[in-house]
């Protein structure tokens, strides 16, 4: 296959950054068509990139003008387009979370298994971030002993429209996935506590929240989510091992002397913090599709992450510690 022809559904904030990277930075693929519930806006995006605007995502996915699909709609609408791609037998990259309900993720897993071939990759891009990869290499080297505790922070400048379930199910789901990948084990229990709520939280949103996870071997993790921190985008991860402490590197920004102070700017949002991770993630997805395989986070990883998130949500709503139960991984997903 020469160039992979991609149809993208969901021309919002991240959808547009993915069109930009695939068409102007990466190699071997082009987004040739797009669709969105907001048809007029979709047309303006299509015009900007000189690609075709479709009125229906499903029709675009079924069409033979498209080889592969990218889904970047809002979370509740991922399932319908992922299912349409599976039905059409096409590779599909779906932004995280795979779906906001564990049952919906399970339906996708079942549909993919019934199709007889892995087609789905989930957008857990932190697995491709050079910083997290440095942590993984250091842990796997064994030089510092076993990881005992992880202290993590995930702060967003703001989060319009967020409800109380979203810090876990939309935001900390990144940590749920990447820490499971980093440590190579599943979780055993979850707990979520509420510190004092910020005056910047909209409506009923409880923000910040702290999620505690324990792994099967007993590693203890705390993740602070503060989605209205009002100073920038801040992602931190410290892994405390038996004989050493590993810290996620922060992006290198020049220190500036100005106005009687020394300032080191930090990122404003995900697009500034993780551009390399998104580029590596997509280049590797494109290459794998062209070689006829999926080698990134699978539908099973998407399902497992949402099972964990739902347990954490239950823990949050009941203010108790909840034990997490996973189904056994089907052979279909074993590498
Ligand atoms: N990996 C990351 O770091 C990262 C970063 C940002 C967003 N995301 C994920 O990407 C997705 C989109 O987020 P966003 O920030 O771009 O949101 P957004 O609101 O900017 O864009 C969402 C788009 O989906 C469209 N849409 C809604 N319902 C639809 C439907 N039924 N059919 C077709 N289109 C529909 C909307 O019109 C909008 O254009 C979310 O799932 C989010 O969790 C991931
Ligand atoms: O959808 C976004 C995205 O996944 C970001 O990476 C995360 O920091 C935000 O909290 C989330 O709302």
**CATH code 3.30.360.10 for 127-268+305-323:** yes
Question: Which residues lie below 8 Å from residue 185, measured CB to CB, with a gap of 6+?
Answer: 215, 216, 217, 219
Residue with tokens 């913090």: 273
Q: What is the pTM of this model?
A: 0.97
- Spatial distance between the Cα atoms of 258 and 261, rounded to a whole number of angstroms: 5
Question: Which overall architecture, per CATH, does domain 4-123+276-298 show?
Answer: 3-Layer(aba) Sandwich (3.40)
Whole-number pLDDT of residue 335: 81
- Spatial distance between the Cα atoms of 326 and 187, rounded to a whole number of angstroms: 9
Whole-number pLDDT of residue 329: 96
| Residue 279 CA to ligand 1 centre (angstroms) | 18
For the chain, the first-to-last Cα distance in angstroms comes to 25
Summarize pLDDT for 173-218 with one digit per residue, the tens: 999 999 999 999 999 999 999 999 999 999 999 999 999 999 999 9
Closest approach atom of ligand 2 to CA 173: 4
Residue 120: name the closest of 131, 128, 130, 109 by CA: 109
Whole-number pLDDT of residue 1: 66
Residue ranges in the chain modelled with pLDDT below 50: none
Question: Which residues lie below 8 Å from residue 320, measured CB to CB, with a gap of 6+?
Answer: 191
Whole-number pLDDT of residue 167: 98
**Residue of 53, 54, 74 to test ligand 1 pocket, by largest number of atoms within 8 Å of CB:** 74
Asked if residue 270 has its Cβ within 6 Å of ligand 2, the reply is yes
- Spatial distance between the Cα atoms of 154 and 189, rounded to a whole number of angstroms: 20
| Residue 50 CA to ligand 1 centre (angstroms) | 21
Minimal-distance CA residue to ligand 2 atom 7:
171
Q: 305: how many CB neighbours lie within 10 A of its CB?
A: 26
Asked if residue 77 has its Cβ within 6 Å of ligand 1, the reply is yes
Whole-number pLDDT of residue 243: 98
- Structural domain spans, the chain: 4-123+276-298, 127-268+305-323
Asked if residue 253 has its Cβ within 6 Å of ligand 1, the reply is no
Q: Which two tokens stand for residue 81?
A: 């387009």
Summarize pLDDT for 4-19 with one digit per residue, the tens: 999 999 999 999 999 9
């Amino acid at each position: 296959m020469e160039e992979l022809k991609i149809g993208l559904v969901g021309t919002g904030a991240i959808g547009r950054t993915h069109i930009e990277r695939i068409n102007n930075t990466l190699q071997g693929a082009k987004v040739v068509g797009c669709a969105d519930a907001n048809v007029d806006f979709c047309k303006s995006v299509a015009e900007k990139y000189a690609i075709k605007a479709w009125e229906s995502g499903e029709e675009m996915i079924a069409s033979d003008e498209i080889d592969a699909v990218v889904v970047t709609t809002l979370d509740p609408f991922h399932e319908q387009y992922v299912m349409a791609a599976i039905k059409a037998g096409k590779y599909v990259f779906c932004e995280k979370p795979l779906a906001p309900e564990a049952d919906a993720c399970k339906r996708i897993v079942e549909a993919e298994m019934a199709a007889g071939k892995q087609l789905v990759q989930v957008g857990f891009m932190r697995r491709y971030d050079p910083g997290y990869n440095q942590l993984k290499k250091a842990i796997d080297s064994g030089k510092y002993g076993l990881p005992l505790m992880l202290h993590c922070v995930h702060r967003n400048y703001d989060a319009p429209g967020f409800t109380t379930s979203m810090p876990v199910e939309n935001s900390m789901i990144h940590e749920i996935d990447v820490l499971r990948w980093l440590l190579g084990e599943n979780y055993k229990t979850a707990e979520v506590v509420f510190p004092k709520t910020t005056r910047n939280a909209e409506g009923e949103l409880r923000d910040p929240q702290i999620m505690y996870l324990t792994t099967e071997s007993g590693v203890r993790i705390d993740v602070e989510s503060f989605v209205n921190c009002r100073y920038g985008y801040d992602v931190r991860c410290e892994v405390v091992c038996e004989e050493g402490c590993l810290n996620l590197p922060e992006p290198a920004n020049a220190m500036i002397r100005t106005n009687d102070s020394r300032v080191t700017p930090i990122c404003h949002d995900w697009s500034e913090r993780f551009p390399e991770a998104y580029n590596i993630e997509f280049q590797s997805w494109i290459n794998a599709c062209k070689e006829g395989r999926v080698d990134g986070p699978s539908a099973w990883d998407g399902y497992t992450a949402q099972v964990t998130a739902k347990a954490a949500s239950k823990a949050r709503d009941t203010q108790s510690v909840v034990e997490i139960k996973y189904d056994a991984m089907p052979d279909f997903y074993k590498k």
